[in-house]
């Protein structure tokens, strides 16, 4: 999605509404899609009716921030995997995750480990990605065995498994650098990450009402309140709309939109995290971070975790992220088996030996 969506002149909006109405009728009539140009085919295939009606009903001034869905609460809060006792989540922690959207922080790595690793991360962030061919903070675990070993630490993955199940994949990682006096990251959320180009989701859960993804956020530096720690809108998991236009001073990729969200409608939690600790949270909950009011930067890295029965970028040669570096070709990208095994083999996969070596050896193709 364009992170600076503007309200267009009326004549342009009328033309866009006419074109989108035709695509909606095409979808309603179940007409053949193979004859459509790629972009139109993606819209007809991947948009649900709520997305059409939101844009059309608002006269092209509002849209859902991602594929709309609302989390369905489980009938009971119990772990989906057996793990060693030191890593076990309590019933209350599982309940808190579903109700508030996050749990933690948990102790994991030492500040000494993180201080040493920080040098490697800062150097890596400035170099071209071997996977994508340009400088990007995304998916550097493909070429950094030390980062990959941190991500697959059992203290992290065992806690994820109790929420998502025993067999887990990592489909993305990212380095986060928040500079001195950096602005807040405004309130946002994501579900299937159709937000990136508003045509194709990244992930395809069979039931968007379930909990289908977890983000693991690891602090390299201390992230106290004054450095802009993460903040969560507890309970706000239904997908919100955005109003186009505005001049946001906050820092979500210089986005200029207003999320349909009021802080006073639910509890807001600011969560300081110490170096070496990690949080688990669900991207579908509204979240952000405060401003860094200090003269020091803070560094962190994260990964996004899914169960192995969810396809990622199926039959795609590249994806477009209009707010984070343009076009990402996928010929050297793949999911990585984080825990257990990949029984379904629905997505391209990076072989485990390549991750340990940090060298691309070829991607394993999905099962036929």
- CATH number of the 65-357 domain: 2.60.120.620
Residue 244, CA distances (Å) to 5, 6, 65, 139, 261 in order: 5, 5, 11, 30, 14
* CB of 137 closer than 8 Å to CB of 300: no
Q: For residues 101, 178, 227 and 172, what is the CA-based torsion angle, rounded to 10 degrees?
A: 20
Q: Rounded CA gap, 15 and 268, in Å?
A: 41
Report the pLDDT value the prediction gives residue 67, as an integer from 0 to 100. Answer: 97
Distance between CA atoms of residues 149 and 167, nearest Å: 17
Mean pLDDT for each 10-residue chunk of the chain (368 residues)? 72 96 97 94 96 97 95 96 98 98 98 96 91 93 96 98 98 96 94 91 97 98 98 96 73 68 95 98 97 98 98 92 76 96 96 90 83
Give the position of tokens 């401003």.
Answer: 291
Q: What per-residue confidence (pLDDT) applies to 355? A: 94
Predicted confidence at residue 252, as pLDDT, reads: 54
Residue 323, pLDDT score: 57
Sequence spans of domains, the chain: 1-63, 65-357
């Amino acid at each position: 999605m364009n992170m600076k969506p503007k309200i267009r002149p009326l004549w342009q909006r009328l033309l866009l509404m006419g074109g989108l109405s035709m695509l909606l009728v095409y979808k309603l009539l179940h007409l053949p899609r193979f004859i459509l140009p790629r972009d139109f085919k993606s819209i007809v295939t991947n948009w649900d009716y709520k997305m059409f009606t939101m844009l059309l009903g608002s006269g092209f001034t509002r849209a859902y921030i991602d594929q709309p869905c609302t989390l369905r609460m489980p009938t009971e809060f119990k772990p989906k995997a057996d793990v060693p006792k030191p890593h076990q989540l309590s019933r209350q922690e599982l309940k808190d995750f579903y109700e508030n959207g996050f749990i933690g922080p948990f102790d994991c790595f030492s500040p000494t480990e993180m201080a040493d690793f920080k040098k490697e991360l800062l150097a890596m962030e400035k170099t071209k990605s071997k996977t994508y061919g340009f400088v990007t903070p995304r998916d550097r675990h493909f070429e950094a065995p030390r980062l990959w070993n941190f991500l697959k630490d059992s203290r992290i993955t065992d806690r994820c498994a109790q929420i998502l199940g025993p067999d887990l994949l990592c489909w993305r990682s990212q380095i986060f650098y928040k500079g001195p006096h950096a602005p807040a990251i405004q309130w946002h959320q994501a579900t299937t990450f159709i937000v990136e180009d508003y045509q194709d989701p990244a992930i395809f859960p069979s039931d968007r009402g379930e909990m289908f993804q977890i983000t693991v956020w690891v602090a390299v530096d201390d992230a106290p309140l004054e450095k802009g720690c993460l903040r969560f809108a507890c309970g706000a998991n239904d997908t919100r709309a955005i109003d186009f236009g505005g001049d946001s001073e906050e820092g979500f990729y210089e986005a200029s939109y207003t999320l349909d969200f009021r802080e006073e409608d639910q509890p807001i939690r600011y969560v300081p995290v110490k170096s070496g600790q990690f949080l688990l949270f669900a991207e579908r909950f509204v979240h952000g971070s405060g401003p860094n009011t200090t003269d020091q930067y803070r560094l962190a890295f994260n990964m996004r975790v899914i169960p192995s029965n969810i396809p990622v970028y199926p039959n795609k040669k590249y994806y477009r992220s209009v707010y984070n570096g343009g076009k990402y070709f996928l010929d050297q990208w793949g999911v990585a088996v984080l825990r257990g095994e990949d029984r379904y083999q629905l997505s391209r996969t990076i072989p485990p030996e390549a991750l340990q070596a940090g060298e691309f050896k070829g991607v394993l193709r999905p099962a036929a």
